Amino acid sequence: MAEHGRDVWNYAFFLTRNRHAADDVSQDVFLQAFLHIASFRGQSSMRTWLFSIARNKAANYRKSAFIRKVTLVDFLYPVVSEKSAEEQYMNQAFTDSIWELVLKLPPKYREVLVLDARYDMPLTEISLLLGVTVGTVKSRLHRARSKMKAYLGEAERDE
């Protein structure tokens, strides 16, 4: 948990887009991993195994009747930083604009892009996690990058 806890939580947050749900999912992931560590076959890295559990738990969370009927409000906590308010705003605005573009991608492209760019996961592990071939991962990653390039081009023209 010390080694992969932050990555699992971030991935759960990416999948659920909710802090409380990410807390619940990541907690369930490590509980599930603890209970079933004997079934870990070592065909992938520990992080890939944990991510696959997180992916399944997040899918179950999204399918649950409670989540479909109730929307929880997230509270934003201020981030303590030594940067000026203007610099913080500009950095956050840039990050937000990139994430808006990433979130415009279809889920199958968005997921491979995040796993590759954010988590630096090898293509073989991404294919194991998603249950698709390496060729499919390469194709999705290429299409995701192409779409992002097109989105960035559109954003530059709009400015």
**In whole angstroms, what is the distance from residue 153 CA to residue 157 CA?**
6
Q: Which residues contact residue 78 at a Cβ distance below 8 angstroms, ignoring those fewer than 6 apart?
A: none
At 49 the pLDDT is 92
In this structure, the chain runs to a length of 159
The answer to whether 47 and 7 have CB atoms below 8 angstroms apart is yes
The larger pLDDT score, comparing residue 65 to residue 11, is at 11
At 130 the pLDDT is 92
**pLDDT tens digits, residue range 83-116?**
667 777 777 777 778 888 888 899 999 999 989 9
**In whole angstroms, what is the distance from residue 61 CA to residue 104 CA?**
22
Is it the case that residue 74 has pLDDT exceeding 60?
A: no
Domain limits, the chain: 5-69, 85-158
Q: What is the CATH architecture assignment of 85-158?
A: Orthogonal Bundle (1.10)
**pLDDT tens digits, residue range 38-65?**
888 888 889 999 999 999 998 888 777 5
**In whole angstroms, what is the distance from residue 112 CA to residue 64 CA?**
25
**In whole angstroms, what is the distance from residue 117 CA to residue 141 CA?**
10
Q: What is the CATH architecture assignment of 5-69?
A: Orthogonal Bundle (1.10)
At 159 the pLDDT is 65
